[in-house]
Structure 1
């Protein structure tokens, strides 16, 4: 299964990479801004960066709820926001993680394991009547997998939300290879 972007899940969405000072309440202020303004967040992921004291918040925003320029202006008003970058899905690397526990009676277990294998996922735990699995990749790949998984009894399913970084230019990748 290819993890190439086909823009299916990106229609009406933009990816913002927001570098913030890692202080208590920053995420609450960012999400509160979206709530107060009526902006819709499609996906949100946050984690510390390699730079001490900084975190990166990846926000997939619904541009139907507000113009992107307005969202960026409002974010820059927050004191802890250091930098905002819009990531073009065609020029960024995106990943997401899916964890699921699926009821797997003996007659369906092989089919579920085969599906996980085809999508290059992992079996994390096997119980008497269920399997817990993980899959990471482009959000479109996870959408396809989740759609096929719906044919089985999904007991629990969780997705992390998108994380993204700009793609390296070809010259930078070639220099790294030498």
Structure 2
């Protein structure tokens, strides 16, 4: 079977230890979590986890079944099986002397990113988009020297 990237939405009770139990389930089964974001949902007392993982369809089916066995899991939806919008945010601090700044600013504009901090010899760039856009921005910043990088991981919803 083909290994693909899956984005899963997991609606859970907002309780201490739920994140640990969900991530522990993945670890015990030998599934890697590429990214996980957790935050409030539209319903009071419930949080939504967006988990990005790699695996074949069989693996995903097993993950879904195992998640439903956890007491605090309310609903599991495979977002990647439907048209979805996924976004990620990254902050990238790059070396930027006076001579490199115009060039970096050109890349920032092209990507509709923004400079959110300017140091004496660095710039901090904020970029928002899908995983591919974030990856591309990072690649273009590498030649300048990335000092620090922080990414959120994906958050996603089904379209419509």
SS in 2 for 1:106: coil
- The alignment's TM-score, normalised by the length of structure 2, stands at 0.94
Deviations 1:104-152 (A, max 9, x none): 0111111111111110111111011001110101111111111111111
Map of 1:126 onto structure 2? 118
Taking the aligned partners of 1:53 and 1:59, their CA distance within structure 2 comes to: 19
Taking the aligned partners of 1:89 and 1:157, their CA distance within structure 2 comes to: 30
Taking the aligned partners of 2:110 and 2:38, their CA distance within structure 1 comes to: 30
More strand by share: 2
Taking the aligned partners of 1:139 and 1:20, their CA distance within structure 2 comes to: 25
- Select the residue among 42, 51, 63 that pairs with 1:71: 63
Taking the aligned partners of 2:119 and 2:148, their CA distance within structure 1 comes to: 14
Give the unaligned 5+ runs of structure 2. none
RMSD: 1.6
Matched, 1:147 2:131: no
- Select the residue among 3, 8, 14 that pairs with 1:22: 14
Taking the aligned partners of 1:58 and 1:134, their CA distance within structure 2 comes to: 21
Matched, 1:61 2:53: yes
For these two proteins, the number of residue pairs brought into alignment is: 158
- Select the residue among 80, 87, 97 that pairs with 2:89: 97
Taking the aligned partners of 1:89 and 1:80, their CA distance within structure 2 comes to: 24
| Residue 90 of structure 1: how far off its partner (Å) | 5.9
Give the unaligned 5+ runs of structure 1. 1-10, 169-178
